[in-house]
Amino acid sequence: MLNFYKERGRRSKLCNTCKNNLGKNYLALLDCKEDACIKMKEEAPQIADYLSEASRDHFKKTLEYLDELNINYNFNPYLVRGLAYYNDTVFEFWPVSEDGVAQGKLALAGGGRYDTMIESYGGVATPAVGLAVGLERTVIKAKDNRELLNTTSDNIIFIGQLGEQAKIKSLLLFEDLRRAGFNVRHSFCSDSLKNQMEEANNLKAKLSLILGKKEVMDETIIMRDMDSAVQEVVPYKKIKDKLEKKINRKGGVLYG
């Protein structure tokens, strides 16, 4: 990409800021809002064509998860963020109209993964993801049409998973239960069921729902009472009805 912008005739058409960035952070040229630079960007090489095999596999899996969750997205081959410590995935959230067209000139939020940042400052290797939010415009949009996650510590239902297919299905379950009003939590980054159950205990979860390869194949889910450790196998399609009978949302777990 650097060679593309340095080719004869192109550099002279760049704005002064982009000319300066050529020797510092040439990816920032893709984020320039000057008309001449935007027009030139349309001819520039696409970042996705130069990914390593590991990055390509990570990106493919990310898109597969979005597809499984029925989350609409637009792939922007020129999207960059201003901070150099991002790796693998960067993203932005935009307000859209009813027909899915982006509205306005400002994103609601933007961010990405920065898995090496903490280690670069002397800390232990720590997977991380984050985003910056335009607070006022996001609050306005949330008031229009969004439910906010239940952040209380009462009647927490923890979803655990083991295996790739179980992880995908647990994400679908998480969103389904969240929209139904249940207070759900999920350890999205952990693949160890033991660590997930430890987190459920730390959160003082009332119940845990556990999915593995067998449960995915059988269309079932294990429901574990975290106080008594008693568990039962529940048909996946009936889990919401079961939770409605099990959880008293104004109190605790119902027994009997």
Question: What whole-number distance in Å separates Cα of residue 13 and Cα of residue 8?
Answer: 10
Q: What is the pTM of this model?
A: 0.60
Contact indicator for 225, 189 with CB cutoff of 8 Å: no
Question: Contact 108/95 with Cβ under 8 angstroms?
Answer: yes
Beta-strand relationship, 184-186 and 157-161: parallel
Q: How far apart are CA 7 and CA 57, in angstroms?
A: 32
Sheet holding 157-161, edge to edge: 184-186, 157-161, 207-211, 220-225, 231-235
- Predicted local confidence at residue 151, as pLDDT: 54
d(CA 123, CA 57): 27
Taking only the tens of pLDDT, the chain with its 256 residues reads 788 888 878 888 889 999 888 878 878 888 888 888 988 998 888 888 888 999 999 999 999 988 888 888 888 888 887 777 888 889 999 887 777 677 777 788 999 999 999 999 999 989 999 999 988 888 777 766 554 555 556 789 999 999 888 988 999 899 899 888 889 998 877 888 999 999 999 999 999 999 999 999 999 999 999 989 899 999 999 999 999 888 754 434 443 3
Q: Using alpha carbons only, what angle is made at residue 138 by residues 74 and 70, rounded to the nearest 5 degrees?
A: 35
Tokens 């995915």: give the residue. Answer: 216
- pLDDT, residue 11, reads 85
Residue 110, pLDDT score: 92
Q: What is the pLDDT of residue 243?
A: 92
**Per-residue model confidence (pLDDT) at position 254:** 41
Q: According to the model, what pLDDT value does residue 251 have? A: 39
Place of tokens 């002279």: 12
Q: Which helix (H) or strand (E) holds 104?
A: none
The position carrying tokens 């901070």 is: 83
- Cα–Cα distance measured from residue 89 to residue 58, given in angstroms and rounded to the nearest whole number: 9
Yes or no: say if 233 and 220 are a contact pair by the CB < 8 Å rule: yes
Tally of CA atoms within 13 A in the half-sphere of 54 that contains its CB: 2
Domains detected in the chain: 2-45 (no CATH), 48-145 (3.30.930.10), 157-246 (3.40.50.800)
Cα–Cα distances (Å) from 69 to 3, 66, 114, in that order, read 39, 5, 23
Beta bridge partners of 111: 91, 131
**Closest alpha carbon to 94 in 81, 111, 78, 110:** 110
